[in-house]
């Protein structure tokens, strides 16, 4: 169902720019766990949301996530040629199209989110959701985290910087997903803030578990080469604190998220399962 929503909101016929549309769709439809739209939808439901106004935002957050991978893979940044076993967008379509497909996806995310104004929804809530989407994707969110991650390559990284990178690069879009679900369902400001903190905890736990898997998993299980952090001499939570302390931190963050969920009314069953899987995931 989430796949269908994402697919439905992809751009239609683009005349002479069909090649750009092809590259955009390739990037979005390359697979992935759709974690962000799932969290957004479940948060919306948790607060009693039942309309379709959430759908353009679910598609938009996945477009933003996809564009970030497309630009991350560029030769100027990570220079990756494979993602999930397939050529990366720039490798398949050329570097210029890689840049432009990312730009067009990011822009189309906002065009898509703005379609919510044509739906039966409170325009003030839709406007607030668009503001949060932009804030958490930009310099005070994901882009800021990406930048610092790139800027510290090959340098000593302090724990404070590492926390900053994880919070913004991974945490911000999860915060945003849960906040938008809550905003569009009409949650109170206090509950929106609780959702932001849960999203941040989940993002940090997710990232630290990623660091662990890069050490303990196998190429087959992970679907990509393990040991890349060591090869790139990258500072991670594991290189600073070791594997055991890292898994303890995942457990601590998960427990904190569970505590925050307990402060919210409604059936948080989905989130309990989600956190359990997150703590022990192998890929």
Structure tokens at 190: 């206090």
The smaller minimum CB distance to its own copies, of residues 102 and 181, is found at 102
Shortest distance, position 78 Cβ to its own copies, whole Å = 9
CB of 258 to its own copies, least distance (A): 29
Q: Are 66 and 28 in contact (CB under 8 A)?
A: yes
Asked if 1 interacts with its own copies (CB under 8 A), we say no
Is the Cβ of residue 63 or residue 260 nearer to its own copies in the bound state?
A: 63
Q: Does 19 bind its own copies (CB under 8 A)?
A: yes
Q: Does 91 bind its own copies (CB under 8 A)?
A: no
Q: Within its chain, how far is the Cα of 271 from the centroid? A: 16
Q: Does 71 bind its own copies (CB under 8 A)?
A: yes
CB under 8 A, 24+ apart: contacts of 82-90:
82/224, 83/30, 83/224, 84/30, 84/31, 84/32, 84/223, 84/224, 85/223, 86/30, 89/23, 89/26, 89/27
**Residue range at the interface with its own copies (CB under 8 A); choices 18-26, 247-255, 256-264, 265-273:** 18-26
Distance CA(39)–CA(244), nearest Å, equals 28
Separation between Cα atoms, residue 146 and residue 132, nearest integer Å: 18
CA 270 centroid distance within chain:
18
d(CA 132, CA 129): 5
- Interface pick for its own copies out of 31, 48, 51, 131 (rule CB under 8 A): 131
Selected binder of its own copies within 144, 171, 199, 203 (CB under 8 A) = 144
Phi/psi at 260 (nearest 5 deg)? -65, -40
Kindly tell me which residue out of 6, 35, 104, 176 binds its own copies, with binding defined by CB under 8 A: 104
Q: Footprint of its own copies on residues 202-221 (CB under 8 A)?
A: none
Kindly indicate which of the ranges 107-115, 174-182, 223-231, 269-277 contains the residues binding its own copies, using the contact rule CB under 8 A. Answer: 107-115
Tell me if 146 contacts its own copies by CB under 8 A. Answer: yes
How far is the C-alpha of 29 from the C-alpha of 23, rounded, in Å?
10
Q: Which residues of the chain form contacts with its own copies (CB under 8 A)?
A: 11, 14-17, 19-21, 24, 67, 71, 74-77, 95-100, 102-104, 106-108, 110-111, 114-115, 117, 123-124, 126-128, 130-131, 133-135, 137-140, 143-148, 150-151, 161, 164-165, 168
């Amino acid at each position: 169902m989430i796949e269908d929503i994402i697919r439905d909101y992809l751009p239609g016929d683009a005349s002479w720019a069909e090649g750009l549309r092809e590259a955009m769709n390739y990037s979005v439809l390359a697979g992935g766990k759709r974690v962000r739209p799932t969290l957004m939808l479940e948060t919306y439901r948790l607060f009693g949301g039942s309309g379709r106004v959430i759908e353009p935002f679910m598609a938009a957050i996945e477009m933003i996530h996809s564009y970030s991978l497309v630009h991350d893979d560029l030769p100027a940044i990570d220079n990756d040629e494979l993602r999930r076993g397939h050529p990366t967008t720039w490798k398949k379509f050329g570097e210029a199209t890689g840049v432009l497909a990312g730009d067009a996806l990011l822009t189309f995310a906002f065009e898509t989110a703005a379609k919510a104004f044509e739906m039966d929804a409170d325009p003030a809530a839709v406007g607030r959701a668009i503001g949060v989407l932009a804030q958490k994707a930009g310099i005070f969110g994901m882009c800021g985290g990406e930048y610092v991650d790139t800027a510290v390559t090959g340098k000593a990284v302090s724990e404070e910087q590492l926390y900053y990178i994880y919070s913004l690069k991974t945490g911000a879009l999860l915060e945003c997903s849960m906040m938008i679900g809550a905003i569009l369902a009409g949650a109170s400001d206090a509950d929106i803030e609780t959702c932001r903190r849960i999203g941040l905890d989940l993002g940090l736990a997710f990232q630290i578990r990623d660091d662990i898997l890069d050490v303990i998993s196998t190429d087959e299980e992970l679907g990509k080469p393990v040991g890349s952090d060591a090869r790139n001499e990258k500072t991670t939570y594991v290189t600073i604190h070791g594997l055991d302390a890292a898994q303890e931190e995942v457990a601590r963050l998960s427990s904190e998220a569970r505590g925050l969920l307990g402060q919210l009314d409604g059936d948080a069953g989905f989130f309990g399962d989600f956190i359990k899987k997150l703590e022990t995931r192998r890929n």
